[in-house]
Amino acid sequence: MIISVINYKGGVGKTTMTANIAAEMAYRGKKVLVLDLDPQTNLTFSFLTVEQWQHSYQHQTIKRWYDAFIDKDEELDLKDFITRPERAHKRLRALEATGILDLIPSHLDCSFRRNRTIYLPWELAN
Ligand SMILES: Nc1ncnc2c1ncn2[C@@H]1O[C@H](COP(=O)(O)OP(=O)(O)O)[C@@H](O)[C@H]1O
Ligand SMILES: [Mg+2]
């Protein structure tokens, strides 16, 4: 199942709702993959600290996948961009939840600058 939360308007609750739906579904035992496509990167920072992102993840974001796709016509394997945020993972285990919450982080410099169809969720689902 793919759930997309999309609205051009800011401040309407997209990030809050996405983070909470993901966490609740993982708590209920689902294997959840959160895909942050917003250059604001707030959803990413709901699960990673800024320091963690800078230290470990800033080169493993959706920006890198997208730039390779657009600039070099290269399709990197999206699975290589999946991270497991430690805080959420520990919290889920502490609650004895069996689900998983994984994340493909975003990047503040993301710009989906060309009008080319993005089909990431479908690729991941198949
Ligand atoms: N259901 C809610 N009730 C009250 N405040 C909310 C609710 N959902 C989000 N907020 C608050 O509204 C603000 C914008 O939410 P956010 O999820 O960042 O929006 P968006 O991602 O659409 O820009 C945040 O300060 C958030 O804490
Ligand atoms: Mg947001």
DSSP string, 61-116: SHHHHHHHHHHH-----GGGG-B--HHHHHHHHHTT---EEEEE---TT----S--
Mean pLDDT (whole number) for 94-110: 94
CA distance 41 to 38: 6
Residue nearest ligand 1's atom 25 by CA: 11
**pLDDT score of 124:** 63
Mean pLDDT of 10-26: 96
* CB-CB neighbours of 8 under 10 Å: 6
Could you read off the pLDDT of 54-95 as tens digits, one per residue? Answer: 999 989 999 999 989 888 889 999 999 999 999 999 999 999
Furthest-apart CA pair in the chain: how many Å?
Answer: 44
Mean pLDDT in the chain? 89
Supply the residue whose CA is at minimum distance from atom 3 of ligand 1.
Answer: 13
Q: What gap in Å lies between CA 118 and CA 122, rounded to an integer?
A: 9
**What are the domain boundaries of the chain?**
14-125
Residue 26 in this model has a pLDDT that exceeds 70: yes
For residue 113, the model assigns a pLDDT of 61
In one-letter notation, the amino acid at residue 9 is K
